[in-house]
């Protein structure tokens, strides 16, 4: 088992990564809690809920199972969970366990952040993507006009990541989660980037995957430790998300996965970086890797103006100007202010280039 200690400015907690940890949940909780509410989703419940319940058998435990998928990051599910917490009798010293992927973690975490003005919660991630979402304390629900618009920072009391649960993920969810690993690699260094790109997702061993998840968690933890509340370098963790979040909102939550759209957003960020800084980044290699691993790299049927308008409501926009995370080279992210005229033109040209490379089966892109 691997333990990463996250020592952020105002919170310290452990991230445990290992096999079968769900059978020993009580051993990894930071303290004893008189009552616990487990929040999970209907798919995860089928596979793993009983194991977690059994591992807490001596406690006062209730379960609330929400629908599976992005649509659960809603004000209705948030309210439903608050009602459950009140009716079950959760108190200030109680615990919420978020057993599931990023959706369960984000909505249950936001309930924990706000119930009685904040109680403890523990993340038990069950997706590859949730190596990212379970660390760092960003919790939120969506507004129909914008992704994660209603939320808070609320650090977990611990993260218990049982990597054996990843065996039941679909190929699409493996791809989605791996996009965030690619993001962390691009923020980190060439060694991690090469290691991530060296894998064909259909042949990924659980040993290699665990190793890479730990690297991803370490990258994320280091950034969160340096800037817990995103006043500065934590913004870099949004690489690929300016476009990704806009598309997710416009397409309707859950019609594409978060990671699939982050993957397109990463390509766009790299493409814009090459244009603005005149640098050569591995656009072609990443395009080919994504393509050969089955990522849907088609441009969704939305025009650039609509996407541009949505991008302007990104959380990093300052005084109406889009601030986008770009790369000067691998491991060197920068924040770049992009005026409206340039951003619109980048979106249009990138859309056309992506379309034509898809038609030609991945034509080499020229800087």
Ligand X SMILES: O=C(O)C(=O)C[C@@H](O)[C@H](O)[C@H](O)COP(=O)(O)O
Ligand Y SMILES: NC(=O)c1ccc[n+]([C@@H]2O[C@H](COP(=O)([O-])OP(=O)(O)OC[C@H]3O[C@@H](n4cnc5c(N)ncnc54)[C@H](O)[C@@H]3O)[C@@H](O)[C@H]2O)c1
Give binding residues for NAD(+) as ranges: 68-73, 102-106, 126-127, 138, 147, 165-168
| Residue 46 per-residue DSSP state | I
Distance between CA 312 and CA 245 in Å, rounded? 11
Sheet hosting strand 120-125, strand order edge to edge: 2-7, 12-18, 158-162, 120-125, 95-100, 35-41, 60-66
Comparing CB distances to ligand Y, the nearer of 183 and 304 is 183
Interatomic CA distance for residues 279 and 271, integer angstroms: 10
Contact status: 168 vs ligand Y (CB under 6 A):
yes
Binding of residue 65 to ligand Y (CB under 6 A): no
Per-residue x/- track, 295-334, ligand X (CB under 6 A): --------------------x-------------------
| Residue (of 360, 242, 255) closest to 312 by Cα position | 242
Among 138, 154, 183, 310, binds ligand Y (CB under 6 A): 138
Chain positions 281 to 340 lying near ligand Y, rule: CB under 6 A, are none
Stretch that binds ligand Y, among 122-130, 188-196, 305-313, 334-342 (CB under 6 A): 122-130
Please tell me whether residue 73 binds ligand Y under the rule CB under 6 A.
Answer: yes
Dihedral angle sign, alpha carbons of residues 317, 102, 286, 334: positive
Kindly state whether residue 65 participates in binding ligand X, applying the rule CB under 6 A.
Answer: no
The Cβ-side half-sphere exposure at 89, using a 13 Å CA radius, reads 4
DSSP state of 47: I
Q: Rule CB under 6 A: say whether 258 interacts with ligand Y.
A: yes
Beta carbons of 253 and 70 less than 8 angstroms apart: yes
- Residue 64 sits in the site that holds ligand Y (CB under 6 A): no
Annotated binding site: 68-73, 102-106, 126-127, 138, 147, 165-168, 180, 241, 258
Q: Of these, 173, 218, 230, 274, which contacts ligand Y (CB under 6 A)?
A: 173
Which of 165, 188, 273, 357 touches ligand Y (CB under 6 A)? 165
CB 240 within 8 A of CB 306: no
User: Measured from the CB atom, is 45 or 267 closer to ligand X?
Assistant: 267
- Site membership for ligand X, residue 132 (CB under 6 A): yes
Among 90, 111, 124, 132, binds ligand Y (CB under 6 A): 132
Binding status of residue 43 toward ligand Y by CB under 6 A: yes
Residue environment code for 54-81, b if the CB has 16+ CB neighbours within 10 A, otherwise e: ebbeebebbbbbbebbbbbbbeebbebb
Nearer to ligand Y, 16 or 283 (CB): 16
- Segment 136 to 165, residues that bind ligand X, using CB under 6 A: 136, 138, 147-148
Outline where the chain has alpha helix (H).
Answer: 25-28, 42-44, 50-54, 75-88, 102-114, 130-133, 171-188, 190-197, 206-226, 241-251, 258-277, 283-292, 304-311, 340-359
CB of residue 231 vs ligand X: minimum separation in angstroms?
Answer: 12
What are 132's two structure tokens? 């990212």
21, 81, 104, 272: residue in contact with ligand Y (rule CB under 6 A): 104
CA pseudo-torsion sign 5, 6, 8, 12: negative
Q: Provide the pairing of β-strand 60-66 with 35-41.
A: parallel
Find the binder of ligand X among 237, 247, 264, 330 (CB under 6 A). Answer: 237
Best CA proximity match to 329, nearest among 182, 187, 184, 180: 187
Residue nearest to ligand Y (CB): 102
User: Residue 136 Cβ, how far from ligand Y at the closest point, in Å?
Assistant: 5
Residues that bind ligand Y (CB under 6 A): 41, 43-44, 47, 68-70, 73, 100-104, 106, 126-127, 129-130, 132-133, 136, 138, 148, 165-166, 168-169, 173, 176-177, 180, 257-258
Residues that bind ligand X (CB under 6 A): 132, 136, 138, 147-148, 180, 230, 234, 237-238, 241, 315
């Amino acid at each position: 088992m691997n333990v990463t200690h996250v020592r952020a400015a105002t919170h310290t907690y452990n991230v445990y990564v290992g096999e079968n940890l769900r059978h020993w949940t009580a051993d990894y909780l930071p303290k004893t809690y008189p009552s616990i509410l487990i929040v999970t989703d209907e798919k995860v419940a089928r596979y793993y809920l009983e194991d977690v319940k059994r591992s807490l058998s001596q406690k006062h435990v209730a379960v609330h199972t929400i629908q599976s998928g992005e649509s659960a990051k809603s004000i209705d599910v948030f309210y439903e969970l608050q009602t459950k917490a009140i009716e079950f009798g959760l108190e200030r010293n109680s615990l919420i366990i978020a057993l599931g992927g990023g959706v369960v973690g984000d909505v249950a975490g936001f309930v924990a952040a706000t119930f009685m003005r904040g109680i403890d919660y523990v993340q038990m991630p069950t997706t590859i993507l949730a190596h990212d979402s379970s660390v760092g304390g960003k919790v939120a629900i969506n507004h129909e006009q914008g992704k994660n618009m209603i939320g808070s920072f609320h650090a977990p009391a611990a993260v218990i990541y049982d990597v054996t649960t990843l065996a039941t993920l679909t190929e699409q969810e493996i791809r989605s989660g791996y996009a965030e690993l690619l993001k962390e690699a691009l923020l980190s260094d060439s060694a991690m980037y090469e290691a991530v790109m060296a894998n064909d997702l259909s042949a990924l061993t659980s040993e290699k995957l665990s190793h890479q998840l730990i690297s991803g968690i370490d990258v994320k933890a280091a950034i969160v430790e340096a800037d817990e509340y995103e006043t500065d370098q934590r913004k870099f963790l949004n690489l690929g998300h300016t476009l990704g979040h806009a598309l997710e909102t416009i397409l309707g939550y859950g019609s594409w996965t978060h990671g699939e759209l982050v993957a397109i957003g990463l390509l766009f960020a790299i493409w814009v970086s090459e244009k603005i800084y005149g640098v050569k980044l591995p656009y072609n290699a990443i395009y080919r890797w994504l393509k050969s691993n089955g990522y849907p790299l088609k441009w969704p049927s939305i025009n650039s103006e609509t996407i541009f308008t949505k991008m302007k409501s990104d959380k990093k926009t300052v005084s109406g100007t889009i601030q986008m995370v770009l790369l000067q080279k691998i491991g060197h992210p920068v924040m770049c202010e992009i005026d409206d005229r340039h951003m619109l033109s980048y979106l249009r040209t990138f859309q056309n280039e992506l379309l034509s490379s898809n038609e030609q089966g991945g034509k080499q892109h020229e800087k």
